[in-house]
Chains A and B, each alone.
Chain A
Amino acid sequence: MTASPTSASERKNPQLGGFSVAVLGLEVRRLLRNRRTMLFTLIFPVFFFLVFGLNAAYANQRVGHGNVSAFIMISMALYGAVLATTSGGAMVSVERALGWSRQLRITPLSPAAYIAIKMLTALVLGFASVLVVYAAGLIVGKPSMPIYAWVTTGICVWIGSLLFAAFGLFVGYLLPSENVMQVIGFLLMLFSFGGGLFIPLSQFSSGLRTAAEFTPLYGLNQLVHYPLVGGVLHWTWVANLMVWLAVFVAGAIWLFRRDTARV
């Protein structure tokens, strides 16, 4: 471009649209500073595990390759990770409300890099959530399952929770409010019951159980327990996960496009 002043031609676009590990680090630090997020994603799941997962009446009963305590530990880790990733995704809502996303539009940060940072921040927090619940399990020593099941269930919970990072983005763009977490907390509680995270679905009436099998946490919850429980891998679990993933990702992309066109 011959028409550019020298100073303009010396100037460069940032690599990766402005994404960097340093930016991610600052985002994670900011998220960890939020007391409510910490309480819901790191303290509550551990607390629930200690309350439900150590009950002498059933904790040592066998489930697949391990015991009920391990089963509940996985459920609570999933609950925490899902809350964490949803919060991470829903940060866009707060940032839109505050005008921060508009401020970022006058920096080189590309919209794709912005979303990538949000997703990875969510994953870091999700990882922390799985880690504290599993650490609590190790410390109290009650959950029992083979080492490979500890590792595979942990990784499945962590990676699987990415589904809810998309959900968080979707809801974050849908509800531009600083109180979005209250709505999300309620929805996730419903999904958690529907997915059988708190009460085994076998205790539901058959009508309610059929309905529950269509909720977004059902497929994921069944799949993350599979390394522990073993047995038959139902295609409906995978279908449930895939359909909800498609819904959340499509919704997030649609609203994201609408948002960048308008701001």
Chain B
Amino acid sequence: MGSTSTTRASAGESNLSMVSPVGRGGQLEVFEQRAPCASNGSVEKPVTMRDRTEVMGSSGGDDPAMPFAVNLLGVHKSFGTVHAVKGVDLAVRPGEVVAFLGPNGAGKTSTIDMILGLTRPSVGKVEVYGMGPRQAISRGLVSAVMQSGGLLKDFTVAETVAFTAKLFAMSRPVSEVLERAGISDIAGRRVGKCSGGEQQRLRFAMALLPDPELLILDEPTQGMDVEGRRDFWRSIRHDADRGRTIVFATHYLEEADAYADRIVLIRKGEIVADGTASEVKALASGRTVRATLPGMEEAAFRAVPGAEGVEVRGDTVLIHASDSDTVARYLLTSTAARDIEITARGLEEAFLALTGDGDNRADDRLDTPTGERR
């Protein structure tokens, strides 16, 4: 498993580990999934983030001189009685564009705050480029665009950037970051007079100053209109193309899908899925074939042609597949399966199943940016 574990970021990888809360009564069940792009037919042990971090420790992957951009090891965060983050293990490789996708209150912001050293984990360890978060920030390795607030109304746009630039040992020229964030034309405007979208671009310009290796964006398009959101992502995407590592939190499914190489689904302070956008999409789309078939082992089901995910509940089996016809045909012709039911689930619904609560879905709902067309 060592070899597969180190190719997380590359295309065509074959394994995706899923811990899915689709089980009854809210209990978690392990859900193994082979992505459609798998080239080898053998069933491999899934590689979880925990395995990877245990194998590789804190100092990296393929290249031992290249530490993870972000490495979270068994991180918990509690605020009084609220357990916001419950044991997150996550390693982000340099160059990845990773989305933290989850409903509001899932623990995304708490996790980001710990990566930025704004709060310390209650339990566990956070490393950024092999060092403590505060060190990484002090050296300008990491910068962030925060959700809201955080700007002085009585500075102008250019003064805000100039002030921040002076705090770094080395920084890009003010005019350059204003240009790249697309706010050169409002450089002389007071921050208090800027729109929400302009203020967000200003935060982006400030984050570009140290030319960071890792850029973190916490719900960056919150409160922006459709056009502002599209323009903002165009700037970010342009930036990512230059090889910068980007981690962003969002509760917009479409944003994660469109802009991330890798999606980390977070629900109630835990990672429930982690994979490339296409893998998670494949998992989220497709159909579920349900059948009654007593006395068959889970491993045997996994060998059913076309099966991508298997869940056994007593005499009932749920097989997840993008090609459900093949699965159903096999079950009907080669096994004693009966009561076959095929249900489709949409992307939205699938994500709700993964990230939702079950009992109070309305609060946990994943939003879709209204009117967004790509």
The CB with the most chain B CB atoms within 10 A, among A3, A11, A30, A105, is that of: A11
Q: Which of B147-200 contact A (CB under 8 A)?
A: 148-155, 159, 162-164, 166-170
- Point out the residues of chain B lying under 8 angstroms from A179, CB to CB: none
- Point out the residues of chain B lying under 8 angstroms from A100, CB to CB: 150-152
For B154, give its contact among A33, A105, A106 (CB under 8 Å): A33
For B163, give its contact among A8, A26, A99 (CB under 8 Å): A26
A187 CB within 8 Å of chain B:
no
- Point out the residues of chain B lying under 8 angstroms from A106, CB to CB: 116, 118, 137, 142-144, 146
Distance A77 CA – B144 CA, assembled complex (angstroms): 44
Q: Which of A77-106 contact B (CB under 8 A)?
A: 95, 98-100, 102-106
Q: Which of A1-40 contact B (CB under 8 A)?
A: 1-5, 7-8, 11-15, 18, 20, 22-23, 26-27, 29-30, 33-34
B275 CB within 8 Å of chain A:
no
**Nearest Cβ in chain B — how far from A221, in angstroms?**
32
Distance A110 CA – B146 CA, assembled complex (angstroms): 19
B138 CB within 8 Å of chain A:
yes
**Nearest Cβ in chain A — how far from B229, in angstroms?**
22
- CB of A3 within 8 A of CB of B130, answer yes
A57 CB within 8 Å of chain B:
no
- CB of A5 within 8 A of CB of B213, answer yes
Q: Which of A206-247 contact B (CB under 8 A)?
A: none
- CB of B65 within 8 A of CB of A14, answer no
Are A8 and B137 also in contact (CB < 8 A) when A3-B60, A100-B150, A103-B150 are?
no
Distance A263 CA – B146 CA, assembled complex (angstroms): 14
Q: How large is the interface on B (under 10, 10 to 19, 20 to 34, 35 or more residues)?
A: 35 or more
- CB of B60 within 8 A of CB of A107, answer no
- CB of B213 within 8 A of CB of A18, answer no
The CB with the most chain A CB atoms within 10 A, among B119, B148, B169, is that of: B169
Closest to A91 in B: B152
**Nearest Cβ in chain B — how far from A124, in angstroms?**
16
A141 CB within 8 Å of chain B:
no
For A11, give its contact among B65, B139, B153 (CB under 8 Å): B139
B67 CB within 8 Å of chain A:
yes
Closest to A19 in B: B167
- Point out the residues of chain A lying under 8 angstroms from B213, CB to CB: 5, 7-8
**Nearest Cβ in chain A — how far from B66, in angstroms?**
6
- Point out the residues of chain A lying under 8 angstroms from B152, CB to CB: 30, 95, 98, 100
- Point out the residues of chain B lying under 8 angstroms from A5, CB to CB: 65-67, 94, 129, 213
**Nearest Cβ in chain A — how far from B338, in angstroms?**
58
Closest to A23 in B: B166
**Nearest Cβ in chain A — how far from B39, in angstroms?**
31
A-B contacts, 23 of them at CB < 8 A, read A3-B60, A3-B64, A3-B130, A5-B66, A18-B167, A20-B166, A26-B163, A29-B159, A34-B154, A98-B149, A98-B151, A98-B152, A99-B149, A99-B150, A102-B149, A102-B150, A103-B206, A106-B137, A106-B143, A106-B144, A106-B146, A108-B138, A263-B118
What residues of chain B have their CB less than 8 Å away from a CB belonging to chain A? Answer: 59-60, 64-67, 94, 116-119, 129-131, 137-144, 146, 148-155, 159, 162-164, 166-170, 206, 210, 213
What residues of chain A have their CB less than 8 Å away from a CB belonging to chain B? Answer: 1-5, 7-8, 11-15, 18, 20, 22-23, 26-27, 29-30, 33-34, 95, 98-100, 102-110, 263
